[in-house]
Amino acid sequence: MTDHKDTSIPKADFGPSVLGTKGYWDNVYDRENVNYDDHGDIGEVWFGEEAAMKMVDWVEEHYEDEKETCSVLDLGCGNGHLLLDLAELGFEDLTGIDYSPSAIRLANSIAKDKELDGVIRYAAVDFLAEKETLEWSRQGADGEPKKFKVLLDKGTYDAISLHQKKDAASKDQQPQSQLKGEAETKEEDKHLAENDDSTEDLADRYPRRVAAMMQDDGRLLITSCNWTQEELIRRFAHVFEYDSYIRYPTFKFGGVVGQTISSVIFKKKH
């Protein structure tokens, strides 16, 4: 680990992208629902199997003795593969949320077919929208918001970071897509209209909203390919403290050693 004395908040060195829009992900999961219905293919595992298994292994290693009570929340669960793996390992309090109803439909179908729908609950929730999140989280018998012991994020913060703010978008500006052949999104789909605020980047809102859903002794495990470990630590420093990280194979370029993926574990500041 290197010194974390630099307290400035790093800025993104990448531009807005179609991957930061709800319309894009709705379209992706609409197609994956069709593929699952036709061929039983659950869809793509973002960042690959290795990153997913390392996250699952970390949860099992640290909460092996709490499988029945350890509440896990997958932020931006997509097809729900992380929770499927945890359910098969014996974890029983598993929740996945995604702002795409199409993703939740796919996740529910897969869990039901694997007979794991009894231990995994999915919901279409935009957790960056405070009012919507509070209404969803208060569905328990006591009406109090549920807080989770472990929160998982594999690529969701990356997608949020690619969101285009309304006040920065011009009428003739289109999101940049690195995927050839993808149709351009409609103008109204360029933004997360459910919670957009011209005075705040959604990526800046993320740490505060996630902390509000976490138990005081909980942990956030976030995996990113857009942000380095040091950048994540500095971006989250006002709400979270660095706890540890997951090791991946490293590369060396220009005398600097690094990883193509960063998986960082955070704990709440008190």
Q: What is the pLDDT of residues 208-246, one digit of tens each?
A: 999 999 999 999 999 999 999 999 999 999 999 999 999
* Distance from C-alpha of 90 to C-alpha of 171, rounded to nearest angstrom: 50
Q: How confident is the model at residue 80 (pLDDT cuts 50, 70, 90)?
A: very high
* Distance from C-alpha of 264 to C-alpha of 137, rounded to nearest angstrom: 25
For residues 159-168, average pLDDT = 71
- The residue ranking higher by pLDDT, 88 or 179, is 88
* Distance from C-alpha of 41 to C-alpha of 250, rounded to nearest angstrom: 31
- Nearest CA to 22 out of 206, 223, 185, 209 is that of 185
Q: Which two tokens stand for residue 194?
A: 């459910």
pLDDT for 251: 58
- Nearest CA to 196 out of 115, 129, 127, 125 is that of 129
CATH number of the domain located at residue range(s) 18-168+175-268 in this protein: 3.40.50.150
pTM greater than the 0.85 cutoff: no
- The residue ranking higher by pLDDT, 66 or 189, is 66
pLDDT for 21: 84
* Distance from C-alpha of 60 to C-alpha of 75, rounded to nearest angstrom: 18
Q: Are 101 and 30 in contact (CB under 8 A)?
A: no
Identify the H or E element spanning 240: strand 240-246
What's the one-letter identity of residue 124? A
267 pLDDT exceeds 90?
yes
186 pLDDT exceeds 50?
no
